[in-house]
Amino acid sequence: MPHRIKWLTEAHYQDPLVNYGTTEYILQFQDAAEILRKWRNPHLGRSSREGTIIRLANEANKSVELIRQMLLTTNLDAKHEEQLIEQLKIFNFMMNHTLPEALELVNKDLLLTPEDILKFIEKHLALMQQEYGKSMSMAKSMLSRLNELTDIEIRDQFGRKRRVQQSDVLDVLGKTLGNLIIRQTSLRPVDQIDARPRGKVRKKETYRAAVLRTSQLPPPTIEIEDIRVVDKDRLSLIYFIVDVSQSMSKTVFTGGLTRLDGALLTSLGLYFFFNLTNRRKRREFETFKMHLVPVTEIPYVIDNNKKLERFLFEAEAKGKTRLVHAVDTVVNHVRSNYKENDFDVQIIVLTDGRPNVPFSGHIPGRPDPFLVKYFEETASDTPHETRQCMLQLNQLFRHLQRSMDRNWEISYFLMAPEKFRDSDLYKDTKAMLGGITRPILIDPTKIEQLGARIIQEAITE
């Protein structure tokens, strides 16, 4: 009986639990926009939420089976055994109470928001404590997996399912859109070196600048223009003016996206971009303080980040477009709330470019005479009220730009497909913003081309 030991290679014994078909899923901007739409309408994702509960139940079921086997057959230390018993109890409770109830609530569309889920989890933690007489240390982390219900299921190009988190999607959106806005603004990153003799002087950079200027080593003199300092980290105020008027509910984009969807997606993206920047800087205060002004009958300011995010997820389109009123509200808000500080202000207007209610109050300054002349001389389809509003906007923006109290920056995002570029309205808007800023046309479904075009324009300028 000759016994020989054979060497088996990996070719003989691969890990049998290998997933052959795994391919990396790449989230595109278009996907991100599409997914955000699903989040805005949570009723769309019901089957996906049901699937999640089934998966969790599947896992709990199999875990119970395996834990029991483990306790019966595998030598474990006391601590591990105790831990497993606790997990077993929690899984059993989940299988008998939590998951069936969750599925029923999902069937009824009652478990949608993170708040709902949090409440549900807390309720079941309390029930569990009643059941077992003591609190389970692992219960919270195990139940928190129910948070996956807020994730959304998407499909890759072959139709296979993946789940994505809201924050992942918004990061993708924010990065793309943030690059657009940063081109237009004066919101500099903190560590940018600036030629202003204020703050801490950076000797090395200053010395180098002097060397370059004089082309001598060592430089004979150091002039004021050579001095490099770190620009102090300043607080910037961001105001999103989001047009939620009736005209925004029109579907214009491919894939059933409305203008409002576009505007909200854009502002969500930007909101996340600024949030990300805030997180990265790790300062005591947040560098960008964000506000949102919906264009409603009486415009108001939302300055709480949570409320802001919620508004962006739940807003609906209705009413007329009181754009001038909204800008006026911003100006008043800044001047009354930040009287003492000269923070920079960035106004981001997201609209379809159809303001139709002229402002009746006082607007300082006067409109650009060239614009007045242009409106008088050129015929266009743009309605009279809209033109009047445009003049008022121009007057207000010009005034802000010239005002000495602080830096005012304006970005104007137009929600429209590419062909809007040929319309009279676009030309008028461009004229209105002449000397102030350039309108950015946003088609969320074609954002990639847009990004490429912006870069191109920036080079040719």
Q: Which of 41, 122, 138, 161 binds another protein (CB under 8 A)?
A: 161
Which of positions 403-432 make contact with another protein (CB under 8 A)?
none
Residue 95 · residue 60 · CB < 8 Å: yes
Burial class (CB in 10 A: 0-12, 13-18, 19+), 221: exposed
Element at 275 (helix H, strand E): helix 259-281
Q: Which of 28, 41, 58, 186 binds another protein (CB under 8 A)?
A: 58
Tokens representing residue 71 in the block: 């306790």
Contact status: 21 vs another protein (CB under 8 A): yes
Instruction: Tell me the one-letter amino acid at 425.
Output: L
Sheet containing 408-415: which strands, arranged edge to edge? Answer: 288-294, 236-242, 344-351, 408-415, 439-442
Q: What is the dihedral angle through the alpha carbons of 174, 177, 182, 184, rounded to the nearest 10 degrees? A: -150
- ∠ CA 36-39-40, nearest 5°, is 90
Residue 442 · residue 428 · CB < 8 Å: no
Instruction: Tell me the one-letter amino acid at 360.
Output: S
Which residue's CB is nearer to another protein, number 24 or number 461?
24
Scanning 95-103, 174-182, 227-235, 406-414 for contacts with another protein by CB under 8 A, the matching segment is: 95-103
Instruction: Tell me the one-letter amino acid at 26.
Output: I
Q: What is the dihedral angle through the alpha carbons of 153, 156, 161, 164, rounded to the nearest 10 degrees? A: -40
Closest approach, Cβ 148 to another protein, in A, equals 13
Q: Which of 115, 133, 134, 158 binds another protein (CB under 8 A)?
A: 158
Q: Which of 96, 144, 216, 246 binds another protein (CB under 8 A)?
A: 96
Q: What is the dihedral angle through the alpha carbons of 351, 355, 358, 361, rounded to the nearest 10 degrees? A: 0
Contact status: 204 vs another protein (CB under 8 A): no
Rounded CA separation 405/408 (Å):
9
Contact status: 8 vs another protein (CB under 8 A): yes
Contact status: 19 vs another protein (CB under 8 A): yes
Which residue's CB is nearer to another protein, number 137 or number 304?
137
Q: Which of 61, 113, 185, 249 binds another protein (CB under 8 A)?
A: 61
Q: Which of 41, 76, 255, 449 binds another protein (CB under 8 A)?
A: 76
Site of tokens 């478990």 = 111
Cβ neighbours for 432, distance < 8 A, ≥ 6 positions apart: 371, 390, 391, 393, 394
Scanning 18-26, 168-176, 287-295, 424-432 for contacts with another protein by CB under 8 A, the matching segment is: 18-26
Which residue's CB is nearer to another protein, number 16 or number 218?
16
Closest approach, Cβ 457 to another protein, in A, equals 36
The DSSP code sequence of 144-207 is: GGGGGGGSEEEE-TT--EEEE-HHHHHHHHHHHHHHHHHHH-----TT-EE--SSS-B-HHHHH
Q: To the nearest 5 percent, what fractions of the chain are helix, strand and coil?
A: 55, 10, 35
Contact status: 399 vs another protein (CB under 8 A): no
Contact status: 44 vs another protein (CB under 8 A): no
Which residue's CB is nearer to another protein, number 66 or number 201?
66
Q: Which of 17, 224, 379, 404 binds another protein (CB under 8 A)?
A: 17
Contact status: 62 vs another protein (CB under 8 A): yes
Contact status: 360 vs another protein (CB under 8 A): no
**What track of x and - describes contact with another protein for positions 108 through 127 (by CB under 8 A)?**
xx------------------
Which residue's CB is nearer to another protein, number 150 or number 411?
150
Closest approach, Cβ 255 to another protein, in A, equals 14
Q: Which of 26, 75, 282, 306 binds another protein (CB under 8 A)?
A: 75
Give the binding site for another protein (CB under 8 A): 1, 5, 8, 13-17, 19-21, 23, 46-47, 50-51, 53-55, 57-63, 66-79, 81-82, 84-85, 95-97, 99-100, 103-104, 107-109, 155, 157-161
